[in-house]
Chains A and B, each alone.
Chain A
């Protein structure tokens, strides 16, 4: 199905284009995103996205804080996948200072990071159902997410803002009974996943509303710098965990779900299949969780050498990159640039939406799964 519509005009009647504003307060924009749509009848002819309603100046703020304090800002960047954010940040310092991380710490990080991915995708599942008009998914999604958050609370002491990853390892060892708790949790998540599949994935209405909507081919997605599930839904095999493996990912056995149509349904499907794969990864890590130290050798005060370093990692939303410019010998970064995946993904919005029906606009926006915290930073 071609999404670009040829607008048929009735020569005799007087039609005018209509501009409507959506946001910044709108339940379907997932935060404070605003777009101005130009409509011709039911079709969207132009989209003007406006961002910046959550620009908190994290990059500038981090220039005034020392390296340990910045982790807290990263927690709040993409506030749905906090562990994954921290992880990329500590890795940039580890790369700069060439710190070696003990194996146990790496496994802990993978378990928590992947659990966070599952939580994030369940949240997507819920809110996406809501965007389409289904009420049940959001209940299921949050039910599963709460379970994961309860485990996170046991590990780090906080439900969302963990501040648990440290340069060289993690803050403290896992609590007693963590492994059995994770095993129980995984069983519950699998059941939740079944529920999720039964309510949306195979629902005829859902497929009607999402299949063939908001198509974007592989060439275009790459051109915009789109990453993550949106890119993989278009059929491009690019997952940093495989393509540029970090941590212990090269030793784990998992698959990368790929779509073929690049439409909303594929984006949804890729995320759902990623939940399966993440559960698979966690199972492997829990089974092989080694004993040992959780913190590598790191100086008390972090002073990375002079130079600039770029490290990226696969977030639930895509390629999160951190560009650190260090002046050498200072306790603060000279410049810290964050490359948020949602920022680039959102750029592709206009070319997805132009030609679509107005009723599909929220479906398309929801399929990108943006988090405004990292769009605006």
Chain B
């Protein structure tokens, strides 16, 4: 039996270090499924990311992806960070209310955030403040609606083929 599938990416030491680093913005920090989950305020995201990246011991230099999840009552932007040197993994989550779908861009922290954010804008309609170019990336000009959202329905098998 192999156990490699259940790697742990968080040590206690790492957790305390992260806690100390982020005392100012006081986010909610908890290990979840082997990774360190940080739920942070919408206004803090870019400063939190900057701290996580620049700290030499945490050194989250590698932004793996930015995902958007539609929870119907609110949206959530999820940042998967990783450090190449220490093999620690952090997941940062930000809640975004439906009335105001905006969040600060992290493109100044990682250049690689560029297309991930544009994709989030395309599929979910979230605006990333400070991103230089929010033109459609994978959808075309004039596409109606936001296909990533739960409210955007795809046809079921039955409507396509009958019974």
Contacts and interface: CB of A to CB of B under 8 A. Distances in A.
A–B touching in complex (CB under 8 Å): yes
Interface stretch (B20-28, B43-51, B94-102, B108-116): B108-116
A40 interface: no
A165 interface: no
Contacts of B32: 307-308
Interface stretch (A56-64, A353-361, A362-370): A56-64
Interface in A241-298: 243-250
B125 interface: no
B87 A347 contact: no
B2 A57 contact: no
B4 A323 contact: no
A226 to B, nearest CB: 8
Contacts of A243: 84, 87
Query: Which of under 10, 10 to 19, 20 to 34, or 35 or more describes the interface residues of B?
Result: 35 or more
Given A64-B156, A335-B70, A52 B6 contact: no
Given A102-B1, A224-B112, A323 B65 contact: yes
Nearest to A346: B115
A246 to B, nearest CB: 5
Contact of A321 (B33, B64, B112): B64
Contact of A337 (B67, B87, B147): B67
Contacts, number: 115
Contacts of A312: 64
Given A223-B112, A347-B114, A376-B138, A98 B6 contact: yes
A339 B112 contact: no
A343 B4 CA distance: 27
A95 B111 CA distance: 31
A201 interface: no
B89 to A, nearest CB: 8
Given A323-B65, A323-B78, A244 B139 contact: no
B124 to A, nearest CB: 11
A321 B65 contact: yes
A147 to B, nearest CB: 29
A94 B33 CA distance: 13
Most chain B CB inside 10 Å of its own CB: which residue of A95, A223, A310: A310
Interface in A187-223: 220, 222-223
Interface in B76-93: 78, 80, 84, 87, 89, 91
Contacts of A247: 2, 4-5
Contacts of A344: 112, 115
Contacts of B134: none
A101 B112 contact: no
Contacts of A377: 138
Interface residues of A, number: 53
B148 interface: yes
Contact of A64 (B115, B147, B154): B154
A343 B115 contact: yes
A61 B123 CA distance: 13
Contacts of B139: 52, 55
A354 to B, nearest CB: 14
Contacts of B64: 225, 312, 319, 321, 339
Nearest to B113: A225
A225 to B, nearest CB: 3
Contacts of B33: 95, 307-309
B2 A106 contact: yes
Q: Which 5 A-B pairs have the closest CB atoms?
A: A225-B112, A52-B138, A339-B65, A337-B67, A224-B112
Interface of A: 51-52, 55, 57, 59-61, 64, 91, 94-95, 98, 100-103, 106, 220, 222-226, 236, 238, 243-250, 307-312, 319, 321, 323, 325, 334-335, 337, 339, 343-344, 346-347, 376-377
26 contacts: A52-B136, A52-B140, A55-B138, A57-B154, A60-B154, A61-B154, A94-B5, A95-B33, A102-B1, A223-B112, A225-B63, A225-B64, A225-B112, A243-B84, A244-B87, A246-B4, A249-B4, A307-B33, A308-B78, A310-B80, A311-B5, A321-B65, A325-B69, A344-B112, A344-B115, A377-B138
